[in-house]
Structure 1
Amino acid sequence: MHIVYVSDGKAGHRSQAAGLYQAVQRISRQSVTFQEISIEQLPLLTLVKGIISGRLKALEQAPDYIFGVGSHTQLRVLLLGKAYPQAKTVILMKPNFPVAWFDYSIIPEHDAVPESEKVIVTQGALNPIVNEQRHLQNRILIALGGPSKRHQWNDQKVLSAVRQIAESNLQAEIILTTSRRTPKGFLEQLQAQPFAGKLQIFPVEQTPQGWIFEEMQQAEAVWVTEDSVSMIYEALTAGCRVGVIQIDRLKKDRITQSVDSLMQKNLISQSAGMMQLAAPAVFKEAERAASIMVN
């Protein structure tokens, strides 16, 4: 089986495609190969010529599945599907085109698109994480985001939340990391707090690629600021207990509602104590989507 991924170069989109590809690998009885091809390598005129000739030089071999994530990939996925009609087209988002035009659209439930033969509804965007069952008792990861179009950062609220986590889990080893969006002066304030000695602090600039995924495999519990929605789903997929650090919302929309939905389902909690968090859930959305798609 050969999968072609039409890429717009965005890391978050690549992560979703990788999650689905790796899930297909895990469930498939045959070997699965993968080629990432950028939209720059697929000019529209070349694709039209490919439809006429039935092949494109840029592809290593004829695909069985064509993946796309991101608005700019959708038309190219459709045209590649015309050039290789035996391949199934898969778009990992709510498409701008009618869902009937693709073989499968894999859409997060917060987009409110009804499930159907061509629509697979998932809890959150897919990711490449699996639960490797390596979690260490009393190990906590705190992952901080930052201001966004939906959230306003409040230093004092976040400092208070981190203090409550530290003081509620006195026996725990606590690792804290930041993101590119964390305000520059926040760590300086954090390190001046009396409780900072309980924390092992790793600024994002000092962490190698893949570091936070490895930390999730080792953590028993992960607390995430609520602006980092993708990280909430990653921690759930890794098999951690998951807590959410509230920050001020600038508006309510489908993304904030997805966080509220996870709260209502008792998958995540605002509690500061590890034992007050929900027990780890079995969360395998990429494998579930892959199973529907392949079988």
Structure 2
Amino acid sequence: MKALVVGGAGYIGSHMVRMLSRAGHQVAVMDNFSTGHAEAIEGYRLYRGDLLAPADIDRALADYRPDLVMHFAARSMVAESMAEPMLYHHNNAFGVLNLLDSMRRHDVSRLMFSSTAAVYGVPIKRRIEEDHPTAPINPYGWSKLFAEHMIHDHCRAYGLRAVVLRYFNAAGADESGEIGESHVPETHLIPSILRAAAAAGAEQPRVKLFGNDYDTRDGYAVRDFIHVTDLCEAHLLAAQALSRTDLPDYQLYNLGNGQGFSVLEVLNAAQEIIGRKVETEICARRPGDPPVLVADASRARAVLGWAPKTHSLQEIVESAWRWHRAQRY
């Protein structure tokens, strides 16, 4: 299989690139490096380009002629989407439309799309399955839901075959310790804690914890954390599912552990692994953050034969800490 990984220099994308390569597939990367890291994809075929520039997409598809496109190129910060919604409308919706148009022009008929649990909004059930109502409460979630609808329409009208994977919270790092999670600015919980702890020789920054007054067991927001390697393995299985004639042209799966950990529980687990206290600051809730997001991923288990191998929060955090202690970028 020849895969073009769009956004392959980012956190999840770079893990996917390496897993594809280790599995014996040909892989190339397209990235605009607005948030990705060149160090994460050294040695891989690269097309520098932007989904908002159709000519960039055309050039990559015409030259590489992939069997499958994997999309990891979204903006994904909830707070930023509340402050700058047009960034999300353009990149996450119009960028996907440009990609779909270019794939039609170049007869590339298979797509894997990374979506998000943010499409569900505030859950009405303890665990969220794929037919849970979609009612996003932030522009990030709306931009992803709109992209999902466009992909579904293209499957119905133009012969596209696509898998949409709704992520919950990816975390951790692969066994190599060479790549990990790093954003500027850093807004994700686990890397924020670990980056603060790894700030050697300088006054450690306080980690901001947004809201301790949610209607949860300890007042902090609850999230489902899935190891990034488990997430990528689900993509490999989903790629195989695109070739199955017994499955529809448009497939949708949740990917999560099915366990909910509160922000405070994550902090405590990280401090135990690090071996010292991390200074924190309790802040007001961030607009657009739901109190609880926990996956029901039974469809992926039943159809794809996928199950996460890493269930322990401690294992997830420990793998991320190994990378942060030897951080290269």
Query: TM-score when scaled to structure 2?
Result: 0.35
Query: TM-score when scaled to structure 1?
Result: 0.38
Q: State the structure with more CA Rg.
A: 1
